[in-house]
A = this chain, B = another copy of it.
Amino acid sequence: MLTREIQHLPDFIYPIDEWRLVEKRFYPRLLPNMETLFSTANGFLGIRGCHEEGSPVYQSGTLINGLHETWPIVYGEKAFGFAKTGQTIVNAPDGKIIRLYVDDEPFDLSKVKLLDYQRVLDMRTGTLDRHAVWEKFSGKQIRITSRRLVSFVHRHIAAIVYEVTLLNADAPIVLSSELASVQETQAPGADPRSNRTLDGTVLLAQSNYSRDYRIVQSYRTRSSGMTLACGIDHVLETQCLHSDQCCSDDGFGRVLFSINGQQGKTIRLIKFMTYHVSRSVPAAELCERSDRALDRVVGHGFETLLEEQRQYLDDFWELADIQVGGDLATQQVIRFNLFHICQASARAESVGIPAKGLTGTGYEGQYFWDTEIYVLPFLIYTAPRIARNLLLFRYRMLEKARMRAREVNQRGALFPWRTINGDEASAYYAAGTAQYHINADIIYAMRKYVEVTGDREFLYGEGAEMLIETARLWTDLGFFSFKKGGHFCLNCVTGPDEYNTVVDNNAYTNLMARENLWFAAETLEWLREHKSDRYSVLVHETQLRQEEIDEWKRAADSMYVPYDENAGIHLQDENFLNKRAWDFSTTPAEKYPLLLHFHPLVIYRHQVIKQADIVLAMFLLGDKFSLEQKRRNFDFYDPLTTGDSSLSVSIQSIVAFELGYFDKAREYMRYALMMDLADLAANVDQGCHIASMGGTWMAMVYGAAGMRDYKGKLSFNPRLGRGMQRLQFSLIIRGQRLSVEIDQEKNETTYLLKEGAGLVIIHQREEVLLTANVPVTVAIKEPYAPPPEQ
């Protein structure tokens, strides 16, 4: 169900451009949203698209992945095992501020007369460029341009070139370049999806110094004890009349340039910023790192940064780009989405991907299952090294996941539903701790990574240990139910659909847990049978017993999968059909998302779904359902799905494609594509929906191109449907690069293995053998679905 109309950005202000997001007019009404959409980031450091002058601003944000404050979660009524420590991303000191004064009058976009204005997020150069011409009351005209980047190559570096040109008169110019702590003062809202406002000062200034246009400051977070160093440095390519710099103990630093501006002579200030954070390194050492990082980039200059940025993105697009024929708007938004995933993940090393990337503080900067289920597929196929890092990050969380399992009286490990530092931060267990499926989601992603990349080292190393502990959790959590004919049941769990919580035998959870168990058993048995040293190590380290593996298999083999014979459908959960129907006809559009308008008990009592649940299972584990079964399930569940979660429509699109519901599939896809650019979730001011963006890649590749990769075996079943003429994308499979190009008009698909020894894929029913650099073009026949796995 689509509860909102897509309202495109007005194109006389935001003209469509396939490689750029363009803003042709200063448009304050959309300022909060545009700060998000114009964000520049590299997965480690993100800067919201706020203007350099610091005003007007909705929410200034300089976000460092993983830099968080902790706070004790307060419950109205506490109970045993409730998560104790909340975690919230901290706004780092704002280093991008460059205030401009001409004749001592400040340049503030919202107050001045603009003769010209344009802002561009360029997805090939990786820069945010702004151009403006300001006319003062005196008639003096000033051209201001700025170019900003957060370097993909230098993880800790961002830079700005800020140019001022007096067009028709001389005037004294002052540039005040600042580095200032920002405390959010926004009041906590009623929307559980927004961030929490931290009370009081979080960043305690530690030390600072100022020298030769450079300022370095360090901080400690009050409660989580993280250290942070921030530095700014400047190159001014103009004679400076006078400069002044200061940094104060409360963490404010400024370098002030006074210049006798002359008509026609461009004043050019290059500002370099650097950020370092740590959970263990002392602040003083981080300051030294900042110094070194600044030395390095200042020495090479801004142009070098720019070239490296361009090169990085050329490489990125080479692998990641999706091309659609003709339709520029779609072309723009798919690239916009992929670019933002790149910005969220490129340098996410030893950290996860926050739900909003580094574009806003929504969802508190925390990591969810979003990464594994929605973003990793794209990364596995286009940037496997990043995918590996993210899985490694989960592995490093394993010890805390073991502790968390103990806290909730379980064996094995339970990964946190939401977290930054590895501790469970979900304060509402019904849509948190009860979402045990996070364990299986992580294993699912790990398996896909291994199957696609062939990285069995990871599988038998970190992977095997994760498999043991997650499998243990499942067998401890469930039981063989007499009432269910001895089947293995998982009660009191919450599946992906948060409108039905703490249910018995959620089909998604049971199916995904079954895969988790089978894969654990299979992997450990392989190691045992091959008498691998690794097996002995694992037995030693985890006290693994052979009987446990048997138990995993027994539980998986007997897993209960709720099904209603009369209706001929799988049950989202055992009692789903016993619920009351939701009266959609009397629910007006403004009552969505329901969670903001109805008590949870009211929602839980009804047959109403927030997001794809069994439909997601039919995509992820599509080989376990017949096409006919998929159709029956989809036909039943799709009309009940509000799509109140941004994670829903991409999945609905994929399954609709598979079922040949092309109109629906393309409508859902369009909705997924436009989620942020058209602000369909009405909260893009809080940040981009990175998972939904990952979902759009999946909708293209798994949906329109009909790719499936069960057990790592690639098949395609292209079905663009009406309106899409062409679809081209690349995939890396076990180091080999495959280009897929679907031509709807000619009704054919061309597969080209650009690198690699050879690859067998399946096009519809038929095997296609690909050898390097030999394109193979095959006709598209009627869409075909393989029979389900027995």
Binding site for B on A (CB under 8 A): 73-83, 86, 190, 192, 407-410, 426-434, 477, 479, 481, 483-484, 489, 491-492, 502, 504, 574-575, 577-580, 595-602, 604-605
Q: A481-B578, A579-B491 are in contact. Are A78 and B598 (CB under 8 A)?
A: no
Per DSSP, chain A at the interface is loop
Q: A491-B579, A604-B492, A604-B502 are in contact. Are A599 and B408 (CB under 8 A)?
A: yes
List residues of chain B with CB within 8 A of the CB of A484.
Answer: 578
How many Å lie between the Cα of A432 and that of B489 in the bound state?
28
| Given A80-B598, A502-B604, 5 new contacts (CB under 8 A) | A76-B427, A81-B602, A429-B600, A502-B502, A574-B578
List residues of chain B with CB within 8 A of the CB of A408.
Answer: 599, 601-602
Flag if B492 contacts A76 (CB, 8 Å). no
List residues of chain B with CB within 8 A of the CB of A430.
Answer: 430
Flag if B491 contacts A578 (CB, 8 Å). yes
Flag if A76 contacts B80 (CB, 8 Å). no
- Nearest opposing residue in chain B for A408, CB measure: B599
Q: A75-B75, A429-B601, A601-B433 are in contact. Are A595 and B80 (CB under 8 A)?
A: yes
Flag if A595 contacts B492 (CB, 8 Å). no
Flag if B504 contacts A78 (CB, 8 Å). no
List residues of chain B with CB within 8 A of the CB of A426.
Answer: 76-77
Flag if B74 contacts A601 (CB, 8 Å). no
Flag if A599 contacts B81 (CB, 8 Å). yes
Flag if B428 contacts A77 (CB, 8 Å). yes
How many Å lie between the Cα of A599 and that of B477 in the bound state?
13
Flag if A74 contacts B74 (CB, 8 Å). yes
How many Å lie between the Cα of A83 and that of B75 in the bound state?
12
Q: Which 4 A-B pairs have the closest CB atoms?
A: A76-B427, A81-B599, A77-B428, A479-B580
Flag if B79 contacts A599 (CB, 8 Å). yes
**Looking at A77, A190, A481, A491, which has the most chain B CB atoms within 10 Å of its CB?**
A77
Flag if B73 contacts A578 (CB, 8 Å). no
Flag if B434 contacts A601 (CB, 8 Å). yes
How many Å lie between the Cα of A483 and that of B580 in the bound state?
10
Distance in Å: Cβ of A597 to nearest Cβ of chain B: 6
**Looking at A76, A431, A477, A578, which has the most chain B CB atoms within 10 Å of its CB?**
A76
How many Å lie between the Cα of A579 and that of B502 in the bound state?
13
How many Å lie between the Cα of A481 and that of B600 in the bound state?
20
Flag if B491 contacts A77 (CB, 8 Å). no
Flag if A599 contacts B491 (CB, 8 Å). no
Which of B73, B502, B574, B578 interacts with A601 by CB under 8 Å? B502
Q: Can you report 30 residue pairs joining A to B where beta carbons are below 8 Å apart?
A: A73-B76, A74-B75, A75-B76, A75-B427, A76-B83, A76-B428, A77-B431, A77-B432, A78-B190, A80-B190, A80-B597, A80-B599, A81-B598, A81-B599, A81-B602, A82-B599, A407-B599, A408-B601, A409-B602, A429-B600, A434-B601, A477-B605, A481-B578, A483-B578, A489-B578, A489-B580, A492-B601, A502-B604, A504-B575, A575-B575
How many Å lie between the Cα of A387 and that of B674 in the bound state?
63
How many Å lie between the Cα of A73 and that of B190 in the bound state?
13
List residues of chain B with CB within 8 A of the CB of A479.
Answer: 580
**Looking at A190, A489, A602, which has the most chain B CB atoms within 10 Å of its CB?**
A602
List residues of chain B with CB within 8 A of the CB of A79.
Answer: 192, 428, 595, 599-600
How many Å lie between the Cα of A481 and that of B581 in the bound state?
10
List residues of chain B with CB within 8 A of the CB of A483.
Answer: 577-578
Distance in Å: Cβ of A97 to nearest Cβ of chain B: 34
List residues of chain B with CB within 8 A of the CB of A192.
Answer: 77-79
How many Å lie between the Cα of A83 and that of B483 in the bound state?
37
**Looking at A74, A78, A86, which has the most chain B CB atoms within 10 Å of its CB?**
A78
List residues of chain B with CB within 8 A of the CB of A600.
Answer: 79-81, 429
How many Å lie between the Cα of A477 and that of B580 in the bound state?
10
List residues of chain B with CB within 8 A of the CB of A427.
Answer: 75-77
How many Å lie between the Cα of A776 and that of B574 in the bound state?
59
Distance in Å: Cβ of A129 to nearest Cβ of chain B: 40
Distance in Å: Cβ of A336 to nearest Cβ of chain B: 31
List residues of chain B with CB within 8 A of the CB of A504.
Answer: 575, 578
Distance in Å: Cβ of A464 to nearest Cβ of chain B: 28
Flag if A76 contacts B77 (CB, 8 Å). no
How many Å lie between the Cα of A86 and that of B74 in the bound state?
14
Distance in Å: Cβ of A788 to nearest Cβ of chain B: 27
List residues of chain B with CB within 8 A of the CB of A86.
Answer: 76
List residues of chain B with CB within 8 A of the CB of A601.
Answer: 408, 429, 433-434, 492, 502
Distance in Å: Cβ of A132 to nearest Cβ of chain B: 42
Distance in Å: Cβ of A669 to nearest Cβ of chain B: 30
How many Å lie between the Cα of A566 and that of B484 in the bound state?
14
- Nearest opposing residue in chain B for A193, CB measure: B77
List residues of chain B with CB within 8 A of the CB of A599.
Answer: 79-82, 407-409, 429, 433
List residues of chain B with CB within 8 A of the CB of A431.
Answer: 77
List residues of chain B with CB within 8 A of the CB of A407.
Answer: 599
- Nearest opposing residue in chain B for A598, CB measure: B409
How many Å lie between the Cα of A409 and that of B608 in the bound state?
16
- Nearest opposing residue in chain B for A190, CB measure: B78
How many Å lie between the Cα of A359 and that of B86 in the bound state?
36
- Nearest opposing residue in chain B for A434, CB measure: B601
Distance in Å: Cβ of A407 to nearest Cβ of chain B: 8
- Nearest opposing residue in chain B for A602, CB measure: B409
List residues of chain B with CB within 8 A of the CB of A577.
Answer: 483
Distance in Å: Cβ of A451 to nearest Cβ of chain B: 33
